[in-house]
Amino acid sequence: MSQTDSLVKPDMLAVLERTHFANTAHNFLLPVIEAISNALHSIEEKFQEQGPSKGEIQVIFYEPSDTEKFKVKVTDNGVGLTPDNFKSFKTPFSGHKLKRKGRGFGRFVSFKVFDSIVYSSRYFDAPHLRWRSFRFDLSNDNEFIFTDNHDSFPDTGASVTLTLPREEWFEQIEQLSEDIVSSEISGEFLPHFLYGWLPSIVINYGNSELFNLRDRFKSIFVQADSGSVDCVIDGVKEKVDFSIARIPKTTAYKTHCLLFSASDRIVGSPRDLSNKIGQPHFVNENDEKYIIVVVVRSEAFDRRLDDSRARINIPASVVEEIVSRVSEKIEALEKVQIRKIKKEQELDLEGALRENPILRAGLRGRTIAEYVAGKPNIWKAEQFISDLAIMRFRDTEDLSKAIAAAAANPDNYVANLREIAGKLDQSKKDALAEYVLHRKSVIELVEAARKFKTEGGRAPEDEIHELVFRRFGDSTTVQYFQHNLWLIDDALAFLPYVSSDRTFHGSRRKKGDKVADLVFFDDSLVLGDDQGHTVVIVEFKRPSRDDYRYGDEKTDPVRQVINTFKQATAAGGITKTDGSHQSFTAATRRFGFIVADLTPSLVGVLKDNDFKNDWDPRVFFRFRDNEQVYIQCFGYDYMVETAKKRNQAFFRVLFGE
């Protein structure tokens, strides 16, 4: 006869101990929010489609300003704790809750905030109405301590009373207000309202007047459109429903935003749509400011919601696709407002082109309105000018291909370039000449900066850094023709994201922070590997510096580069100047550049780090296996010389040098 055994129930106290729970107003109210969510499920089970009209939930905050007497009670008129529901209640992570889009973990979260939790319920157990009341205590071997103290219910229903808040939450209680309670609870259950399934939820905060959450929603949110879009997640076509509402601009809702809903709850922070739509808010015909709020939901989100209900596990690219598709719906809905934005853009561009008429060639025969129509709504005059300049300086794909073909034949490079230049029309030739002249001037400035002396010392490396790429900025604020990354390597100039002299968290420098001179990121390698990511770090050192020492992070630039890569990996990415996050945790290629004069002490440090210079004595290099990073070190003279060589053919053709 074979033996059998059974599963041991999970140690929920240990699970809670390992659950991160930040001390915020939202997390303090999370047990209340979970109780309301359970009440909604109970009402849906009892009334089905009539739940919005017949369901009732009451939330009462007692003594909200007294940390010792603080108490919250949530009562509903749902089915109550029936035998099946109570069995599910006793089962952590139950399948019963999963069927109702829950996780079966919410009731346990209450113990992160409160020390006393009491349930009371009246339920139908054919053919009788029965009572069930108990104190729920995880620290007790028998977690359910039943009592005869029953709440009064006209029919079936349940209540949960939360008391004895833990001391670490006292500060949140002292700062709590009706506005905070209303905002936090409203934000969680907005999807129910927008999708037409929200029963009466009456909230009483201390001695304040009762307010009905549904009525408050009705007075603010006016649904303007709804529908669905398709997207592909993990290779599967999924349906995403959306609901668009217009609401007055308030302190709680300041900008157009998109909210992700999973298991009928808002997940994560609102996604700002200003960069997509072009303005943070609209103004109607009565001169009133209003914003667009969109809620999106999908069964695919429900399946990918993590146990903490804090994150939906979908790729960032899918999120961006959903944001773009929904933004298109908003633009179609708000045609009058979008037309205002486009008209302002047209006027801005017209003014800019009056000052820079040579850039009209970049329009390529289109009207300003036609050109602006295809560009982002957020663009200002400087973005349009930069875009037109790029099109003008890299005017046609045929020209790029022709130059590339010429480069493949070094023996006839100059002759081929002269032939290409001869075929250009005058406006394109002028544009190319302007760009090449700009490069020539920059090289001369770098040479001058290296030679400039003040009080017997060289100019700091910051001067050259500023010429290469503006310090304390990134690609979000610095446009293509505002930097000179080609001085180091032409390929770097086209990488999609660059950060200059900034911390990885984007804020002011803190103790222990690594601040790289330049950090580059590309989601597909310049070398053609579209499955890989590239991170490049560049360190500039003071010209003529000769006090380097091996192994000391302050004086060993190799160690500095390696440690910066380590901190970049630990940070998982970098925060851009606009507040968004650029992730590069999956970087498959790492390159480091050290630009510093090859003084005796630096050469000694490089050799101690096993760097080689056998193919060119002016360039030291090494691939470090442990860190999977390739590092090159060369001097400012080499950087200037190679930049001259890369541009010399253009100089000879256009300037006769």
pLDDT, position 384: 87
Residues 252-291 pLDDT 10s: 678 999 989 887 778 877 888 988 898 999 999 899 999 9
Per-residue buried b or exposed e for 520-538, using 16+ beta carbons within 10 Å of the residue's own CB: bbbbebeeeeeeebbbbbb
pLDDT, position 21: 67
Q: Which of the four pLDDT bands, split at 50, 70 and 90, describes residue 466?
A: confident
CATH numbers and ranges of domains, the chain: 12-214 (3.30.565.10), 221-331 (3.30.230), 339-432+647-654 (no CATH), 438-644 (3.40.91)
Q: Which of the four pLDDT bands, split at 50, 70 and 90, describes residue 609?
A: very high
Per-residue buried b or exposed e for 44-81, using 16+ beta carbons within 10 Å of the residue's own CB: bbbbeeebbeebebbbbbeebeeeeebbbbbbbbbbbb
Which is more confidently placed, 418 or 583? 583
Which is more confidently placed, 151 or 94? 151
Give me the mean pLDDT over the 515-538 stretch: 65
Residues 162-188 pLDDT 10s: 999 989 889 999 999 888 888 888 878
Q: Which of the four pLDDT bands, split at 50, 70 and 90, describes residue 241?
A: very high
pLDDT, position 458: 44
Task: Please give the Cα distance from 181 to 223 (Å, whole number).
Answer: 24
Contacting residues for 11 by C-beta, under 8 A, at least 6 apart? none
Which is more confidently placed, 425 or 131? 131
Residues 407-419 pLDDT 10s: 556 566 566 666 6
Q: Which of the four pLDDT bands, split at 50, 70 and 90, describes residue 446?
A: confident
Residue 554: exposed, middle, or buried by beta-carbon count in 10 A (0-12, 13-18, 19+)?
exposed
pLDDT, position 100: 45
Instruction: State yes or no: pLDDT of 308 exceeds 70.
Output: no
Pairing type for strands 589-595 and 581-583 reads unpaired
Residues 33-72 pLDDT 10s: 989 988 999 999 999 989 999 999 999 999 988 888 999 9
Task: Please give the Cα distance from 657 to 652 (Å, whole number).
Answer: 4
Q: Lowest-pLDDT range, 217-231, 482-496, 535-549, 613-627? A: 482-496
pLDDT, position 515: 78
pLDDT, position 2: 52
Instruction: State yes or no: pLDDT of 209 exceeds 60.
Output: yes
Which is more confidently placed, 385 or 200? 200
Which is more confidently placed, 55 or 654? 55
**Whole-number average pLDDT of the chain:** 80
Residues 69-101 pLDDT 10s: 999 999 999 999 999 888 887 776 544 444 444
pLDDT, position 309: 65
Instruction: State yes or no: pLDDT of 640 exceeds 70.
Output: yes
pLDDT, position 112: 83
Q: Lowest-pLDDT range, 17-26, 216-225, 542-551? A: 17-26
Give the alpha-carbon dihedral of 571, 572, 575, 576, to 10 degrees: 140
pLDDT, position 36: 92
Alpha-carbon distances, residue 476 vs 84, 286, 348, 506, 586 (angstroms): 55, 35, 20, 13, 22
pLDDT, position 189: 83
Instruction: State yes or no: pLDDT of 377 exceeds 50.
Output: yes
Q: Which of the four pLDDT bands, split at 50, 70 and 90, describes residue 103?
A: very low
pLDDT, position 429: 56
pLDDT, position 3: 58
Alpha-carbon distances, residue 576 vs 28, 403, 579, 582 (angstroms): 31, 34, 5, 7
248: which 2 tokens?
């007055």
pLDDT, position 76: 95
Provide, rounded to the nearest whole percent, the portion of the chain with pLDDT above 90: 29
pLDDT, position 46: 93
Residues 477-524 pLDDT 10s: 776 556 777 788 777 766 778 888 888 877 766 776 677 788 777 654
pLDDT, position 401: 56
pTM passes above 0.75: no
Q: Which of the four pLDDT bands, split at 50, 70 and 90, describes residue 17?
A: low
